[in-house]
Amino acid sequence: MTPATLAPPRPAAQQPDWPDRTALLAAARELSDRPPLVRPEECDRLRGRLAEAATGHGFLLQGGDCAETFADTAPGPVRAKLALLAEAAALIEPSLGRPVTVLGRMAGQFAKPRSQPTELVDGVVLPVYRGDLVNGAEPTAGSRRPDPTRLLRAYDHAHDAVSVAREGAGREFFTSHEALILEYENALTRRDPATGDRYGLSGHYLWLGERTRQHHGAHVEFAATVANPVGVKLGPTADADDVLALAARIDPDRVPGRLSFITRMGSDRIRDLMPVLVEKARAEGIEAVWVCDPMHGNTYTTSGGLKTRRYDDVLDEVRGFFEVHRELGTRPGGLHLEFSADAVTECVGGPEALTEADLAERYTSTCDPRLNRVQTLALAGAVAGMFTG
Ligand code: PEP
Ligand code: MN
């Protein structure tokens, strides 16, 4: 009999339709026997850095692919992304006057929330690609079938990426990804023997996406029960009550650096929508880290059917974010980017003045359009100016 006190399972949004749940549970069980990918004390150290960013004594630079693929965890791509993060951070540091904390959107960023469960490819309805942790990007029925053994492959690839990052660490480095597939996250959640606290040890920092931040949903429940620093995306429909409810659920003890809000409003709305959220949080004494994601509110589809973003919109959203904080006397805590270290042509504009006609050249993202190396460094240079200007 089920004990009366056992809470019913909370609804989990954006989970794949796994064809074989027995295989899923077997994979999760095997994963729970693997060593964790990161250590609790590293998560605590990052939380300390975020606490500094919340009060203007630091800044977070978080970035990487929208959908990291297994192939992206090879040493070359990992080193290239780390080098670009370091280069961008070095552009910001002189005007900040403090070290920038670098947080890779990597070593586990393998699962994607999607707006539709299926898509039409050449007249055939296929399940959408949900990231390498779930299925294959190749548009065939076989590849798109959710495959639970991918949980184990994801672990192996995340492990590879973490190893490369650790071996080259001249700079303090942390990993992050969206905590989406709960079997993966739960299997890698462990109790720290030193403190008894539970940590999600699939990455140092875990965030909840715009589509999985329901107050009473399973993802918020997961975030509430781990001690890692966690982020929650806030899109244009987020209101002040969401901010209060999320803070109460996830960070009731108000641990400095524990909770960040990652706003992704769109360049045309950030200046209108963000002030009320920041003010409400401040009025209630919530010391969240405010991080700007200038990517996800600025996506559009070209007439040629490619998703893109304008560099100028991305830049303008960051400007709006800084303006709001300046007006309110609060602190811009960080920047969350989707970038590639390669010369991809996925976002239009920037120093190379890429046009929509250029997009087909080197569009390699399996999900959202990323800034290329030149656009990333230009943006970092502009952000440096926002601290002094
Ligand atoms: C993402 O970060 O790739 C993403 C899906 O963002 P959001 O949850 O803000 O839509
Ligand atoms: Mn994305």
Residue nearest to atom 4 of ligand 1 (CA): 209
Pairing of strands 173-178, 205-208: parallel
- Please tell me the predicted confidence (pLDDT) of residue 386: 97
- Give residue 197 CA to ligand 2 midpoint distance, Å: 31
Alpha carbon of 299 to ligand 1 centroid (Å) = 11
Residue 259 per-residue DSSP state: E
Structure-token match 């297994």, residue found:
70
For residue 167, how far is its CA from the centre of ligand 2 (angstroms)? 28
CA 319 → CA 239, 267, 289, 303, 314, distances in Å? 21, 9, 17, 28, 9
Tell me the best of 114, 133, 210, 260 to mutate to test the pocket of ligand 1, counting ligand atoms within 8 Å of each CB and taking the most. Answer: 210
Upper half-sphere CA count for residue 196 (Cβ side, 13 Å):
0
Neighbours of 163 (CB within 10 A): 15
Q: What is the ipTM of this complex?
A: 0.99
Ligand 1, CB within 6 Å, residue ranges? 66, 113, 209-211, 233, 264, 296, 368
Encoded tokens for 298: 């600025």
Give the ligand with the smallest distance to the CA of 368.
Answer: 2
Is there a contact between 50 and 60 (Cβ–Cβ < 8 Å)?
yes
Ligand 2 center from residue 253 Cα (angstroms):
31
Ligand 1 center from residue 195 Cα (angstroms): 32
For residue 268, report the distance from its CA to the centre of ligand 2, in Å: 19
pLDDT of residue 3: 45
Residues for the chain: how many in total? 389
Give, using CA atoms, the residue closest to atom 9 of ligand 1: 210
Give the position, in ligand 1's atom list, of the atom nearest the Cα of 112: 5
| CA of 235, closest atom in ligand 1 | 9
Residues 286 and 257 sit within 8 Å (Cβ to Cβ): no
**Could you report the per-residue pLDDT of 355-368, keeping only the tens digit for each?**
999 999 999 999 99
Task: Give mean pLDDT in consecutive 10-residue pieces for the chain, a chain of 389 residues.
Answer: 59 96 98 98 98 97 98 97 98 97 98 97 96 98 98 98 89 95 98 96 98 97 98 98 98 98 98 98 96 98 97 99 98 98 98 98 97 98 93
Strands 299-301, 307-309: pairing kind: antiparallel
**What's the CA angle centered on 77, arms 75 and 78, to 5 degrees?**
60
Reported pTM: 0.97
